A and B are shown apart, each in its own frame.
Chain A
Amino acid sequence: MQRKKNEMLGLATELLGTMAYALLILILTVVIVR
């Protein structure tokens, strides 16, 4: 059970971390282009 929980949290960390990185770049792109 703990293993499954860790796996799901790991998956979420990777997905959210990558999306946060993409969002950061999007925000900075908006700043540069403006």
Chain B
Amino acid sequence: MKIFRNTVGSVEIISYYTGYVVLCMAVLMLIPIATSLIFAEWNPLLDFLISMAITVLVGLGMVLFGWRTRLQKAHIQWKHGFVVAALSWLILMVLCAIPTMLSGNVGSMLDACFDVMSGFTTTGLVLTQNLDHLSSGLNMWRHMLTFIGGQGMVVLALTVMVKGTNGAYKLYVGEAKDIELVPNVKGTTRIIWKISMVYLLFGTAALWVDGMLIGLSPVPAFLHALYMFESAWSTGGFAPMTQNIMYYHSMSYEIIAMVIFIIGSFNFGLHYAIWQGKRKELIKNIETQSFFITSFLACMLAVYGLEKLHLYPDAVSFFRRVVFNVLSAHTTTGFGSIYARQFAQEWGDFGILIMVFAMLIGGSACSTAGGFKGLRVGIVFKGLMMDVKKLLCSERNMKVYKFHYMKDHILDDSLVRSSSIIIICYMALFGLGTLLGTFYGYPLASSAFEAASVTGNVGLSVGVTAPGTPAGLKIYYIVAMYMGRLEFLSVFALFGYVAGGVKKLCVKSFRH
């Protein structure tokens, strides 16, 4: 616990950078404000103005408290980076929940916080009521949150930071994005945003045209396209209507969304490598290999298993109802093309279990997706193969095992160990969620489905998540979404930091 010693300097550094991230989010509130102005929605406009004022005050207060960091050019350490990332997400959860709370569409502040954390972590579970009649400003805000959450709030702050910080990389890694596309972090974060913006243009245009072809008028078609793109690209799962993607009754809309969320679940490093001309990376990369194998198996097993139940009349229905949902679960998107209760009532235990496995595996590391990621599955699988081969080979035979992930890496025990630890943490979080679900009286299959959905930041539901869900379960789901998204390390650093501070205070007061 020595490394988490709570010195005044550390508190100031953390306060300064967290305040900076909070201020960035306050500036972004201008977008829903502009939307509310355009659509003449005066009550939502007032909600956002109040929220922005509070967010600016909190952000400014934190920056001013840590102003000495700027004056003395204090050196940021790893612990600060991790704590800033974890703390920013918590503070922003509360601040960004204010407009939702003021809108009157949620039952309590806890529900509003749940929805915001669900957006930030690109989960997609919703407690907001009367979704079909939300204001355009609030809809813009919800989908923006999921889009920004996918990129990462700290990534956003680093992208717009005018002057580079001496410890930017330490802030960046804290948000579970540890890939360096170019030697400087600011350049890397800008590339992440550039890739997303190019896809935003193409994806929104494709969904807009398709939306008009299926009968939406131009303005709603554009707004729906933008919202659905933001949600699909971030592997989020929010939608402007209660029926989610079923609202559109369109196979073409579903296929465009499917392509967007599959590409959105890829590693930003993979996008960059392919855009740099290394197109074979799409096939050679251990992560895409892992994703294509596991998602293919999950789809085929689900189709084969559910075909026996004669649930859907033809192959196209199976593709739209089964394959779409399995891929949505595997990429941790959470768009549902059937109603929540249909999973529990029609799919049976086999279908539910396939979905649980798919949700837990998730997408790629350093992407917008959740789950314990294809990279770790690939590394652990290769590690297992390595151990078996070592057993079968002669003791004098020394062989170096490699895997390809942007470039060739040596597969060593420490890498297998760290990947296994993260997978164990995810499984523990999932196990606890399932246990808690059954404690509150939900059936085992439903509890496991919902726990996998929150742990893997997916957003599909069997109906456990509802405004009437016990508060204890809602709080656990918030924690699970948060820990799952930040991949534990930052959250543990924050816990350690707070515990270190509390311990120091206790020792001080005891001495007095």
A residues touching B (Cβ–Cβ < 8 Å)? 6-7, 9-11, 13-15, 17-19, 21-22, 25-26, 28-30, 32-34
Contact = CB atoms under 8 A, between A and B. Distances in A.
25 contacts: A9-B277, A10-B271, A10-B274, A11-B275, A13-B279, A14-B263, A17-B282, A18-B259, A18-B263, A22-B259, A25-B299, A25-B319, A25-B323, A26-B315, A26-B319, A26-B323, A28-B303, A29-B299, A29-B322, A29-B323, A32-B303, A32-B307, A32-B318, A33-B307, A34-B315
Given A18-B259, A22-B258, A29 B271 contact: no
B279 A32 contact: no
Interface in B286-311: 292, 296, 299-300, 303-304, 307
A14 B315 contact: no
A9 B274 CA distance: 8
B198 interface: yes
B262 interface: yes
B315 A29 contact: yes
A7 B315 CA distance: 36
B428 interface: no
Main secondary structure of the interface of B (DSSP, over half): helix
Interface string B227-265: 000000000000000000000000000010011001100
B285 to A, nearest CB: 12
B277 A10 contact: yes
Interface residues of B, number: 28
B314 interface: yes
Contact of B262 (A10, A21, A26, A33): A21
Interface of B: 198, 202, 255, 258-259, 262-263, 266, 271, 274-277, 279, 282, 292, 296, 299-300, 303-304, 307, 314-315, 318-319, 322-323
A33 B275 CA distance: 38
Given A26-B323, A33-B315, A13 B296 contact: no
Contact of A33 (B198, B274, B314): B314
Contact of B303 (A9, A18, A21, A29): A29
Contacts of B259: 15, 18-19, 22
A14 B274 contact: yes
Q: Which of A10, A11, A13, A29 gathers most chain B CB within 10 Å? A: A29
A11 B274 CA distance: 8
Given A6-B275, A7-B275, A32-B300, A15 B258 contact: no
A32 B312 CA distance: 13
A29 B318 contact: yes
A26 B307 CA distance: 14
Contacts of B276: 6, 10
A30 B277 contact: no
A34 to B, nearest CB: 7
Nearest to B270: A14
B143 to A, nearest CB: 22
Contact of A9 (B255, B279, B299, B319): B279
Contacts of B255: 22
A30 B282 CA distance: 26
Contacts of A30: 315
Nearest to B276: A6
A20 B304 CA distance: 21
Nearest to A13: B279
Contacts of B303: 28-29, 32-33
Given A15-B259, A33-B315, A6 B277 contact: yes
Contact of A32 (B282, B292, B304): B304
B401 to A, nearest CB: 27
Top 7 A-B residue pairs of the complex, sorted by shortest distance between their CB atoms? A10-B275, A33-B315, A30-B315, A10-B274, A6-B277, A7-B275, A13-B279
Given A10-B279, A30-B315, 5 more contacts: A13-B282, A18-B262, A22-B258, A29-B319, A32-B318
Contact of B300 (A6, A9, A18, A28): A28
A2 to B, nearest CB: 8
A25 B322 CA distance: 11
